[in-house]
Structure 1
Amino acid sequence: MSTTAETTPAGGAPGTGTGVWLHGVVADADPAVLAGITGMDGRPVRAVRAVGLVAVVSAAPLTEYGEEALRRNLEDLAWLERAARTHHAVVDALSRAGAVVPARLATVYRDDDRVARVLTERRDELAGTLAGLTGREEWGVKGYVVPGAVPRSAEPAGEGGTGAAYLRRRRAQLTAREEGQRIAAEAAATVHTALAGYAVAARRHAPQDRRLSGAATAMVLNGAYLIDRAALDGFSELVGALADRHPELRLELTGPWPPYSFVTEPSAEPAPAVRERA
């Protein structure tokens, strides 16, 4: 999906008129569900239908969401956070009702005809993505360093022996912080591999900065996993078992989330992050 506003509608002066903000694409949309979802303009979202697909959209006054206005507003962090939260709230509500292909933040078109054209041109791709997401949810697993924790596999069985001597030498070579970071990073890779093997699909994102995560220690795992709803209990149990197996990590399971991690276009610029729910 486009990440920038299109040009002004025909017949309108630059920066005037109303565009169409795309939130996401679904296979079908219950009018009663849409009536309870607030869009960018503060009114209920609406549906644009074409070729058996539904685009869920909001009115987007071009004085605020036009190309020039967006370029300016995207530099305003307060405005950006409000827009991101509103957009995410719509996508989240749609995902709870069924499969959705989320649009990138600030995907604005001239009019409904342009939106319908996108559905027509990308019908096979969008329908295929929706089929792959049906009955599935995105869940996140974050892993944080636990200072001073020793992995179970490294715990010495006794005071003597070559194994214990080796561990003492290694601890002497590294500072406690360096060793903790190394151990946690290795554990994070092991945990992600195990979770990815259970999931339908998996992505490992860059760890969040502490200012964004709000955690007291460094994040070393920021994984996203597409899970069949019927398999969620098993996935949750696996996260718990991995947490017990790796005390050097504090694992946190979050979700469900809209499937942002599994519909990203390689050529698109990343959308600004939305702070997760507590």
Structure 2
Amino acid sequence: MSTTADPTTVAVGSWLHGVVRDADPAALAGVAGMDGGPVRAVRAAGLAAVVSAAPLTEYGEEALRRNLEDLAWLERAARAHHAVVDLLARSGPVVPARLATVHHDDTRVAAMLAERRADLSGTLDRLTGRGEWGVKGYVRPGVPPRAEAPAASGGAGAAYLRRRRAQLTARDEGQRIAAEAAAAVHEALAGSAVAARRHAPQDRRLSGAPTAMVLNGAYLVAGAAVEGFAALVAELTDRHPELRLELTGPWPPYSFVDGRREPAR
């Protein structure tokens, strides 16, 4: 006796949130996946991939191409994805998946774990005991640039002329000084971190800040070094009054994993 597939059945894929060494089912019960339902762990090759159900009518390749152009949809998806990744990061190292990494089923997810076992295990080892911290730097308006130390033969008059010249070209000079300060801050912070990334500054419409962002840095910091790292941010704030520095974190290590998008298979 033959059977006919129900044409109303919706194919469901597996949205990948992240890979960990193991996942506690009780902990996973506290967060919802992309469809509002529970997330689950797919185990293979000594690793666990945490996934949630993703109806392909909304999360299939063509649907994703369309939905990723919808900013409201994209924000909802990013928040739901991050909620799961953040939960995983609180329990230990996690390799976050890039947003919109969808496999056709759990079998394909398990195959990915087997294929990338060495890479994923190495990344988890590198991230153990470390977290991502963000430092954003914004131009602080109204703060005059610091005068350079006067040359021995220049005296106070030369210093005044330098200050006056800076005032006459305040806008361009301010941007230049802010950019140089941002580079100096990033270099100092990178020296106190395990790894560092400098991302493109966010547009004001996205950052919501009243002034321009000139630094958008991410820093991988060992747990034992966090206090010193925060103290360095405070010191750099005093050293560079032309910038307002904002320290955030810890975040899941989005900036320090392989950014490739796993194709749906």
Q: TM-score, normalised on structure 1?
A: 0.86
Q: Which of these residues, 246, 249, 255, is aligned with residue 243 of structure 2? A: 249
Paired position in structure 1 for 2:178: 184
Matches within 5 A, 1:72-221: 72-152=66-146, 154=148, 160-172=156-168, 174=169, 176-221=170-215
Secondary structure of the corresponding residue to residue 49 of structure 2: strand
Q: Kindly tell me: are residues 164 and 86 of structure 1, through their superposed partners in 2, closer, same or farther at Cα, counting changes over 3 Å?
A: same
CA distance in 2, matches of 1:169, 1:14: 73
Q: Kindly tell me: are residues 60 and 221 of structure 1, through their superposed partners in 2, closer, same or farther at Cα, counting changes over 3 Å?
A: same
CA distance in 2, matches of 1:228, 1:81: 30
Paired position in structure 1 for 2:228: 234
Q: CA deviation at 1:97?
A: 1.3
Q: Tell which deviates more after alignment, 233-242 or 107-116.
A: 107-116
CA distance in 1, matches of 2:182, 2:138: 9
Q: CA deviation at 1:38?
A: 1.0
Matches within 5 A, 1:54-73: 54-73=48-67
8 Å contact from structure 1 (residues 84, 105) kept in 2: yes
Q: Which runs of 5+ in 2 are unaligned?
A: none
Q: CA deviation at 1:259?
A: 0.6
Paired position in structure 2 for 1:272: none
Q: Kindly tell me: are residues 243 and 22 of structure 1, through their superposed partners in 2, closer, same or farther at Cα, counting changes over 3 Å?
A: same
8 Å contact from structure 1 (residues 202, 225) kept in 2: yes
Residues 1:25 and 2:14 aligned together:
no
8 Å contact from structure 1 (residues 102, 260) kept in 2: yes
Paired position in structure 2 for 1:47: 41
Secondary structure of the corresponding residue to residue 160 of structure 1: helix
Secondary structure of the corresponding residue to residue 125 of structure 2: helix
User: Rg larger in 1 or in 2?
Assistant: 2
8 Å contact from structure 1 (residues 156, 164) kept in 2: no
8 Å contact from structure 2 (residues 147, 159) kept in 1: no
8 Å contact from structure 1 (residues 39, 86) kept in 2: yes
Q: Deviations over 1:195-253 (max 9, x none)?
A: 00000000000100000111111000000000001110000000000000110000000
8 Å contact from structure 1 (residues 22, 57) kept in 2: yes
Q: Deviations over 1:27-49 (max 9, x none)?
A: 11111111112111212210000
Matches within 5 A, 1:255-270: 255-265=249-259, 268=261
What is the one-letter code of the residue matched to 1:31?
P
CA distance in 2, matches of 1:32, 1:155: 62
What is the one-letter code of the residue matched to 1:134?
T
Q: Deviations over 1:164-183 (max 9, x none)?
A: 323333443x2x22111111
Secondary structure of the corresponding residue to residue 248 of structure 2: strand
Secondary structure of the corresponding residue to residue 99 of structure 2: coil
Q: Which runs of 5+ in 1 are unaligned?
A: 1-10, 270-278
CA distance in 2, matches of 1:147, 1:155: 23
CA distance in 1, matches of 2:103, 2:222: 33
What is the one-letter code of the residue matched to 2:86?
D
Q: Deviations over 1:118-150 (max 9, x none)?
A: 000000000000100010000000000011213
Q: CA deviation at 1:17?
A: 1.3
Q: CA deviation at 1:159?
A: 8.2
8 Å contact from structure 2 (residues 145, 166) kept in 1: no
Q: CA deviation at 1:163?
A: 3.3
Paired position in structure 2 for 1:7: none
Q: Tell which deviates more after alignment, 71-80 or 150-159.
A: 150-159
